Amino acid sequence: MKPADIDFMREAIAEARKGAALGEVPVGAVLVRDGQVIGRGFNQPISSHDPSAHAEMVALRAAAAADANYRLPDTTLYVTLEPCTMCAGLLVHSRIRRLVYGASEPRAGAVVSRAQVLAQPWMNHRVEVDGGVLAEECSDLLKTFFRDRRG
């Protein structure tokens, strides 16, 4: 873990809270290059009517549009929840250098919990991974959201 990881994960948590305020599952992401946030996102598949509008996808789309490039080398993605298979593949195709995530996703996590997509030998790009950054805070955000929805 690097010193700035906590600060950037806090920014991802702030993004997750924006999604929660809209009734979306509270997952947030920020993409960083050279110490600067170049893309932000929170889950919004419900409000955008887009099943691919996961926090990671939204943040990377914003950064790619700003860079006018579909590749995002030399970047670190901070996300509050371990990515799913779609988003893990997105990291490879985008050439993200490093992934930092908060809470593990034991049911559908595709980085360490289940599919381990990024570790597959046929992937043509390697992503460095650090997990568990502010994991308890990230997990509590999700638990509170689902507890409140159940009433």
User: How confident is the model at residue 151, as a pLDDT?
Assistant: 72
Place of tokens 């034991």: 106
54 annotated as a binding-site residue: yes
> With contact defined as beta carbons under 8 Å apart, do 108 and 83 qualify?
no
Q: Which residues contact 49 (CB under 8 A, 6 or more apart)?
A: none
**H/E element, 89:** helix 85-94
* Cβ–Cβ under 8 Å, residues 70 and 94: yes
Active-site hit among 11, 15, 24, 56 = 56
The rounded distance, in Å, linking the Cα atoms of 64 and 13 is 21
How confident is residue 3, by pLDDT bands cut at 50, 70 and 90? confident
pLDDT tens digits, one per residue of 57-97: 999 999 999 999 999 999 999 999 999 999 999 999 999 99
Q: What is the tens place of the pLDDT at every residue in 4-49?
A: 999 999 999 999 999 999 999 999 999 999 999 999 999 999 999 9
Q: Is 123 helix (H, G, I), strand (E, B) or coil?
A: coil
pLDDT tens per residue, range 102-115:
999 999 999 999 99
Average pLDDT over the chain, rounded to an integer: 96
Question: Does pLDDT of 149 surpass 90?
Answer: no
Q: Are 71 and 101 in contact, with CB atoms under 8 Å apart?
A: no
Range of the domain at 13: 3-150
CA 120, 75, 59, 141 torsion-angle sign? positive
Q: Is 56 tagged catalytic?
A: yes
In the block, which residue shows the tokens 């689902």? 146
Task: Specify which residues 41 forms β-bridges with.
Answer: 29
* The 3-state secondary structure of 19-49, one letter per residue: HHHCCCCCCEEEEEECCEEEEEEECCHHHHC
pTM of the prediction?
0.97
Asked whether 82 and 113 are in contact (CB, 8 A), the reply is: yes
Q: Domain count for the chain, please give it.
A: 1
What is the CATH number for 71?
Answer: 3.40.140.10
Distance between CA 81 and CA 56 in Å, rounded? 10
